[in-house]
Amino acid sequence: MTTATPAGPGARARPVVTGLGVLSAAGRGLDALTEAAVHGKTGFGSVTRFDVSACRTTRAALLPADVPLAHTVPLARAVLDALAQACRQAGLTAADGADTPVLLALHSDLRTRATARAFGAGVSAAWGTRGVTRVYTGACVAAATAVADAAALVAAGRHERVLVAAGHLVEPGVFAVFDAGRALARDGEPRPFSAGRTGTLLGDAAAAVVVEAAPAAERRGAPALARLAGWGRAGDAHHVCRPEPEGDGLARATEAALARAGVAPAEVGYVNANGTGSALADLAEARALHRVFGRHTAQLPVSSSKSVHGHALEASALLELAVVIGALRAGRLPVNAGWLGPDPDLGLDLVLDGPRTARPRYALSLNSAFGGANTALLVAPA
Amino acid sequence: MTTDTTPLRVLAEAHWPDPGHPGPPPPLPGFAASGFNPMVADAAERCLRAHHGEAPAPGRTALLLASASGDLATARAIDQGAGPGRRMAPLLFFQSNPNAVLGHIAARWGLTGPVVAISPAGAVPGQVPADALGLAALLLADGDADQVLVIAAEPADPAAGASDSPEHPDSTGEFAVAVLVTD
């Protein structure tokens, strides 16, 4: 990656989001996703894309039929669609792209490099970038890590603008291995933080954001959609795939995001939790929230939008950042769908009915992954 | 990406294969079907031991795995396991993404920094891609880590077709290199 220093070496700049594009089970665009999230309209249905008859769980949140995927590399097409939405909203043209890094989050499999190549060719042709700068494959924090790195590059004055994109389409191999690993909800509904939760459901998603230095966006007359106030990344140092039971790594990632922004815990007014619907992981996350927010936890609205759009794995963090930005702009909080009743061990103020009106000064998007990886993105209204 | 404005200091380095450590890497409990993860863990283990002696490592150490091809044997086993009439081995779930082996290393050595995996466009046997070092420098400069253990690894698979660039051809032999860096 070449290093542009438009603001001068070492100059600090606030990173903002000036463009956002998304495809999800709710359809195309942020408005459809926000509408589904704040009303708790779930996108789950029977998987018809491939044969799931041998699996215990047969449901997922797939893109609606009117979202075209016909392409030799369907995932690349979907992510290019999201990126085009984001770039158009940000008012970018191909002339702006030459020195703009492109960070892409994808699942690591036999098709990763082919998808990255197809996406890179498309983004170069349409938006003038030099292909894909870096591909993140770090499971369910891949996209959040990319956003944090983009924000760090912009904040340090190394780039005026960074494009971040991610995609995941439900496919036979990952679906079957998650089913075999008993990670999918046996009753066909993800129920984050609920009594009786039995696992997650997978979801399709493609998402993209334009992360830009606030002064550069102002110079271009590009309105900011939201501000990336802070970010943090930390590891559990605990297990190959199980979370640290007290949520230690997630708490440290969250504390890092708050410290970077100079924001007190009591200033946070909403958390879009990782909330996969896993018995162990949801409990660890609730403990992390109690550790970071203390008594404020009782007044802190929490939900997991995975309950609406499913778990999009490497794309999940960018999809969920989109939900947070949509909620902040709408002044309504996403609903934690699928809830059956309280889990007395959690003690969270879950958003159970929607739409709930709120104007948080800051909102958090949290993600955790295999390997004990944790990320926190702190978002503020523009 | 160049390595940021701050030059990295290399604290320790280990390679697999290594003439001083002949034979296959030690098996990794809980991992199956692929030699990729034992190779990554072995290079990481010897690198960390060279600098710290015994676990745990002090401070916040990030883990960054860079692999153009990724764990091909596991990826193939997952694809095949989803085929008609096949049954998926449940153990494959636990190694279904690159973070898994990093979690093993982090747990053993108490590494509490960021856990990151990337897929660079190509690989040069025995070398850490420049972009991985650039990302390590960014993690250090941004303040979430005091040290970064960068591991570059490729499986043996000349037919993988992973490389995007003619100057960085696919590796013809498996390798892993682990480098512990700080700023």
The string of pLDDT tens digits covering residues A367-377 is 999 999 999 99
Beta-carbon contacts of residue B166 (< 8 Å; ≥ 6 apart):
none
Please report, for residues A15, A227, B34, the alpha-carbon distance to residue A380 in angstroms, rounded to integers and kept in the order given.
11, 5, 44
Backbone angles phi, psi at A331, to 5 degrees: 70, 25
Instruction: Measure CA of the first residue to CA of the last residue in chain A; give whole Å.
Output: 29
Residue with tokens 């998603």: A205
β-pairing, A205-213 vs A161-168, is: antiparallel
Do B103 and A138 make contact, defined as CB atoms within 8 angstroms?
no
- At B125 the pLDDT is 92
- Annotation: CATH topology of A229-381: Peroxisomal Thiolase; Chain A, domain 1 (3.40.47)
Measured over all CA atoms, what is the biggest interatomic distance in chain A, rounded to whole angstroms?
58
Could you say which residues of chain A have pLDDT below 70?
A: 1-11
Beta-carbon contacts of residue A322 (< 8 Å; ≥ 6 apart):
A20, A22, A30, A33, A207, A209
| Residue A376: both structure tokens together | 């926190």
- At A9 the pLDDT is 42
CATH C-level class of A11-189+200-220: alpha beta
Burial per residue of A183-213, b for 16 or more beta-carbon CB atoms within 10 angstroms, e otherwise: bbbeebbbbbbbeebbbbbbbbbbbbbbbbb
Task: Output the average pLDDT for chain A.
Answer: 95
Shortest Cα distance, chain B CAs vs residue A331, angstroms: 32
Q: Are A155 and A172 in contact (CB under 8 A)?
A: no
Asked whether this chain's domains A11-189+200-220 and A229-381 adopt the same fold, the reply is: yes
Half-sphere exposure of B6 (CA within 13 A, CB side): 17
Tell which residue, A123, A127, A125, has the closest CA to residue A135. A123
| Distance between CA atoms of residues A158 and A13, nearest Å | 10
Tell me if chain B has a CB within 8 Å of the CB of A220. no
Shortest Cα distance, chain B CAs vs residue A95, angstroms: 21
Mutation for A interface: B3, B48, B99, B109, most A CBs within 10 A = B99
CB pairs < 8 Å spanning A and B: 205
Residues of A in contact with B78 (CB under 8 A): 109, 173-174, 176-177
Beta-carbon contacts of residue B27 (< 8 Å; ≥ 6 apart):
B38
| Distance between CA atoms of residues A257 and A3, nearest Å | 25
Tell which residue, A100, A102, A105, A30, has the closest CA to residue A75. A105
Q: What would the 3-class secondary structure string for chain A be?
A: CCCCCCCCCCCCCCEEEEEEEEEECCEECHHHHHHHHHHCCCCCEECCCCCCCCCCCCEEECCCCCCCCCCCCHHHHHHHHHHHHHHHHHCCCHHHCCCCCEEEECCCCCCHHHHHHHHHHHHHHHHCCCCCCEEECCHHHHHHHHHHHHHHHHHCCCCCEEEEEEEECCCHHHHHHHHHCCCECCCCCCCCCECCCCCECEECEEEEEEEEEHHHHHHHCCCCCEEEEEEEEEECCCCCCCCCCCCHHHHHHHHHHHHHHCCCHHHEEEEECCCCCCHHHHHHHHHHHHHHHHHHHHHCEEECCHHHHCECHHHHHHHHHHHHHHHHHHCEECCCCCCCCECCCCCCEECCCCCEECCCCEEEEEEEEHHHEEEEEEEEEC
Do B112 and A106 make contact, defined as CB atoms within 8 angstroms?
no
- At B6 the pLDDT is 57
| Distance between CA atoms of residues A42 and A20, nearest Å | 22
Beta-carbon contacts of residue B22 (< 8 Å; ≥ 6 apart):
none
Tell which residue, B75, B28, B54, has the closest CA to residue B176. B28
Shortest Cα distance, chain B CAs vs residue A19, angstroms: 24
Do B70 and A137 make contact, defined as CB atoms within 8 angstroms?
yes
Beta-carbon contacts of residue A156 (< 8 Å; ≥ 6 apart):
A10, A12, B141, B142
| Residue A254: both structure tokens together | 């969250």
State pTM to two decimals. 0.95
**What are the residues facing A93 on neighbouring strands?**
none
- Which residue in the set B99, B118, B121 is minimally distant from A373, CB to CB? B99
**What are the residues facing A63 on neighbouring strands?**
none
| Distance between CA atoms of residues B150 and B127, nearest Å | 11
Tell which residue, B138, B96, B42, has the closest CA to residue A137. B96
Q: What would the 3-class secondary structure string for A334-345 be?
A: CCCCCCCCECCC
- At A287 the pLDDT is 98
| Distance between CA atoms of residues A173 and B119, nearest Å | 20
Complex ipTM: 0.95
Residues of B in contact with A175 (CB under 8 A): 82
Do B103 and A1 make contact, defined as CB atoms within 8 angstroms?
no
Do A108 and B106 make contact, defined as CB atoms within 8 angstroms?
no
Give residue limits of the domains in chain A.
11-189+200-220, 229-381
For every one of its 183 residues, what pLDDT tens digit does chain B have, with 9 covering 90 and above?
334 445 899 999 999 999 998 889 999 999 998 999 999 999 999 999 999 999 999 999 999 999 999 999 999 999 999 988 889 999 999 999 999 999 999 999 999 999 999 999 999 999 999 999 999 999 999 999 999 999 999 998 645 544 554 444 444 589 999 999 999
